[in-house]
């Protein structure tokens, strides 16, 4: 048997390097496929987590049949429930609330950090 240069090569030596290269190529193909599968699984998990985060951040409104209150879900652990007249008063006070929040922004941010712990 001879190689590409026309030199004589022992019979077992010619096939061994080719076999090793072929095995390494198969291993590389399998590892790439496994990595692609892992990437796809991680991307699916990220999408699921983003959907959950968006769901938690969204506000939901519900009218209570028993107390005639409008409840807002998604602000805290428990809903915020007020009657219609209370919601109107709160909505009218929004400009004052915004000014108050701006005036005390540093204190509010400090309180938020403490709540996170």
How far apart are the two ends of the chain, measured CA to CA in Å? 75
49 and 70 inside one domain = no
86 and 110 inside one domain = yes
The tens digit of pLDDT for each residue in 48-66 reads 888 887 776 788 999 988 8
77 and 45 inside one domain = no
47 and 70 inside one domain = no
pTM of the predicted model as reported, rounded to 2 decimal places: 0.46
Q: Which domain holds residue 109?
A: 60-116
41 and 1 inside one domain = yes
69 and 42 inside one domain = no
The tens digit of pLDDT for each residue in 7-55 reads 565 565 544 454 555 556 666 777 888 888 999 999 999 988 888 877 7
4 and 47 inside one domain = yes
77 and 40 inside one domain = no
pLDDT of residue 74: 84
- Distance (Å) of CA 102 to CA 22, 94, 111, 115: 68, 12, 14, 19
What backbone phi and psi angles, to 5 degrees, belong to 71? -105, 140
43 and 89 inside one domain = no
Please give the tally of structural domains in the chain.
Answer: 2
């Amino acid at each position: 048997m001879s190689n590409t240069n026309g030199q004589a090569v022992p019979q077992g030596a010619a096939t061994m390097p080719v076999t090793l290269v072929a095995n390494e190529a198969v291993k590389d193909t399998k590892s790439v496929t496994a990595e692609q599968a892992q990437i796809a699984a991680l991307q699916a998990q990220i999408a699921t987590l983003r959907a959950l985060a968006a769901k938690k951040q969204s506000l939901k409104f519900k009218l209570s049949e028993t107390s005639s209150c409008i409840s807002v879900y998604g602000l805290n652990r428990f809903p915020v429930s007020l009657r219609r007249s209370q919601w109107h008063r709160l909505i009218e006070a929004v400009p004052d609330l915004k000014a108050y929040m701006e005036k005390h922004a540093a204190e509010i941010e400090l309180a938020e950090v403490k709540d996170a712990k």
